[in-house]
Structure 1
Amino acid sequence: MAGRQNRNQDLDPFTSPRTFFGSELRRAREAAGLSQDQLGERVFCSGTYIGQFESATRRPQPDLSKLLDDVLDTGEHFQRLCELARKSKHADYFADAAELETRAKTISEYAPMLVPGLLQTEAYARALSSAAQRFESREVVEALVQARLERQAILADSTAPLLWIVLHEAVLRVRVGGAQAMAEQLMHLVEMVGTNRRVLIQVLPFDAGADAFLNGTTIHMTFTDAPAVTYVESAYTGQLIEEPAVVAQYQRAYDLARAASLSPEASLSLIESAAKDFATQ
């Protein structure tokens, strides 16, 4: 713990709102004579979790910031800093999950209707964002597209997570952006698997019947130095789940979906076939 706290002291608090939040948290905690573990007990989390905020590796959370203000008697100081530190290019409900993607050791995603953001082509992402934000300006749509494409940089990194995707067969049939855009998108999936050995895709076929995830996207992430988390999403909303028992339940359901899916080889053949169908339209 001492080593972790020493590293926190080396942070420049003026690098970003998040590092300032972490620096202020460490200052207030030490002024109160509390260790990270002791403060964690008072705000119902672990000392490791407190350390992640102090080291600016996790985005501050509104509910926790209020508890910190209450316990450390700091008025609304941390709540105001939290609001600044949580600004993101992504929708607020997804921002925490987007950040965790950059630290994940493995990412396991189930996609019931749409190609996951980490594997979308620009044309597919633009068509999808334009449809979802029908009443927003083109500038807003383009900002969303660029933010989505920037997320994909983690796949080219030397420490890229292992990305295991289960696509429902519906993903291959829902036309997003027209036939040409769909053909390009599906062939992009095939090419990604062929060129990146840390990307694996399976297709859950229509005849597999019902599964636990039909009603929404589910992303399960594991980490080297932190507990696993699950992110679930539907239209315009999402939730990051950290309760171990619930995360484990999602993991079991994901394993069942993976077991019911086609083999990776058969999945790629089906994706290629769907791409050719769109290419000839």
Structure 2
Amino acid sequence: MTDTPRRLSVRRRRLSEELRSLRLAAGMTLDDAAKATEWSVGKVSNIETGVRLRPSVVEVRALLDVYGLTDERRRESLFAITRQAGKKGWWTKYGDVFPDEFPVLESEATAISTYEPMIIPGLLQTPSYVELFTRSANLVRDPVDIQRVVDARRRRQEILTGPDRPNLWAVVDAGAIERLRATPEVCREQAGHLADMADDGNGVTVQVVPFSAGIHAGAKGSFVLMDFSAADPVVYLEMDQDGLFLEESDETTRYRNLFNHLVSRSLGVDESVAYLRETAKAA
């Protein structure tokens, strides 16, 4: 059984792309770069491709010198990326909660478009909903394990309040809302929270796909589309034990078109908020 390759953060991917671009612009092969730095070809390749996840500033400086980059502003920018790429994220403390590197990309996205047919999107879940879902859907009973999931979800949600918060657009099927009626207290809190988040003008949009939309293309399952300022978009499909990342342009375009289709089948933003408030009130 082989190990699953680790995902590169957006910063690390950008560093890899920049170093490869500079090498090619200098007209050098990997062998040329290895000879100039007196390193092995493997070391240069690993730094450039991201196999070596955390190269040092000293190593990156050596490569920039070899490639003839003298622009101080650009050099300092790459050094800053190197330092940031070497930092461990908060999610490394929750390896038992997150089965893959999804939080790495989510934390660096500038825009997140998500569709959920069955549950409330993670970034918008209340603590009581997280606890209920963890107990019911994941069959977790240990209070310590449940609290770790609640804590991890709360940390994820901090990206919505930070200075570099992404724009979040969540489309949720009405089925995910209606299921909450079986637990009135959770329903009031969760539906009200969704309405409040959509009403706050903080970059969050929530729309509900009504039952009247009938069978639609989103019935196949949930997905998250993430856009970045310094990298190509990525689609994430969550599985039971792991997730699938799609990065090819035709794949991300297909899911962007699917998301736009779901938006067109949804209630308008104001109608969605009204529906959520009515649901919370009636619970």
TM-score (norm 1): 0.69
Q: Which residue of 1 aligns with 2:164?
A: 159
2:282 corresponds to which residue?
Answer: 277
Give the structure 1 partner of residue 65 of structure 2: none
Which has the higher mean CA deviation after the structures are superposed, 185-194 or 236-245? 236-245
Query: Displacement, 1:31?
Result: 2.1
Of residues 128, 134, 157 in structure 2, which corresponds to 1:129? Answer: 134
Question: Number of paired residues?
Answer: 221
Q: 1:104/1:91 Cα in 2 relative to 1: closer, same or farther (>3 Å)?
A: farther
CA offset at residue 236 of structure 1?
4.0
* 2:78 aligned with 1:110: no
**Is the alpha carbon distance of 1:272 and 1:100 closer, same or farther for their aligned partners in structure 2, counting shifts above 3 Å?**
same
TM-score normalised to structure 2 length: 0.68
What is the rounded CA distance, in whole Å, between the counterparts of 1:54 and 1:127 in structure 2? Answer: 38
Displacement of 1:135 after TM fit?
A: 4.8
Residues 120-142 of structure 1 deviation map (CA, whole Å, 9 limit, x = unaligned): 11111111111133255221121
CA displacement 1:181-212 (0-9 Å, x = unmatched): 11111101111122243000111111112222
Q: Partner of 1:246 in structure 2?
A: 251
Q: Which residue matches 1:175?
A: 180
Structure 1 position 228, deviation (Å): 0.3
> Measured at CA, do residues 4 and 165 of structure 1 come closer, stay the same or move farther in structure 2, by a change above 3 Å?
closer
Say whether 1:257 aligns with 2:262.
Answer: yes
Matches of 1:129 and 1:163 in 2, distance apart? 23
Task: Give the distance between the partners of 1:242 and 1:141, measured in 2 at CA.
Answer: 32
SS of residue paired to 2:276:
helix
Q: Which runs of 5+ in 1 are unaligned?
A: 9-25, 41-46, 57-83
After superposition, the Cα gap between the structure-2 partners of 1:268 and 1:90, relative to the gap in structure 1 and judged at 3 Å, is farther
1:30–1:118 CA distance, 2 compared to 1 (3 A): farther
Tell me the distance in 2 between the aligned counterparts of 1:133 and 1:4.
Answer: 38
Give 1:234 shift.
4.3
Q: Hey, what's the Cα distance between the residues in 1 that align with 2:244 and 2:210?
A: 27
Taking the aligned partners of 1:225 and 1:205, their CA distance within structure 2 comes to 36
User: Using a 3 Å threshold, how does the CA distance of structure 1 residues 153 and 176 change in structure 2: closer, same or farther?
Assistant: farther
User: How far is the alpha carbon of 1:98 from its aligned partner?
Assistant: 1.4
Matched residue, 1:95: 100
- Tell me, in whole angstroms, the C-alpha distance in 1 between the residues paired with 2:139 and 2:163: 37
Secondary structure of residue in 1 paired with 2:264: helix
Query: Deviations for 1:4-63, whole angstroms, at most 9, x for unmatched residues?
Result: 58x99xxxxxxxxxxxxxxxxx9xx97224796x669xxxxxx5x63993469xxxxxxx
* Cα shift readout 1:42-101 (whole Å, capped 9, x = no counterpart): xxxxx5x63993469xxxxxxxxxxxxxxxxxxxxxxxxxxx999551567653111111
The DSSP-based 3-state class of the residue aligned with 1:158 is coil
- Distance in 2 separating the partners of 1:91 and 1:249: 32
CA RMSD between the two structures: 3.3
Q: Residues 211, 234 of structure 1: CA spacing in aligned structure 2 closer, same or farther, 3 A cutoff?
A: farther
Q: Deviations over 1:261-281 (max 9, x none)?
A: 111011111111111121xxx
The yes-or-no answer on 1:32 pairing with 2:46 is: no
Residue aligning to 1:142: 147
Kindly indicate whether residue 221 of structure 2 is the aligned counterpart of residue 212 of structure 1. no
Residues in 2 aligned to 1:226 and 1:196: alpha-carbon distance in whole angstroms: 27
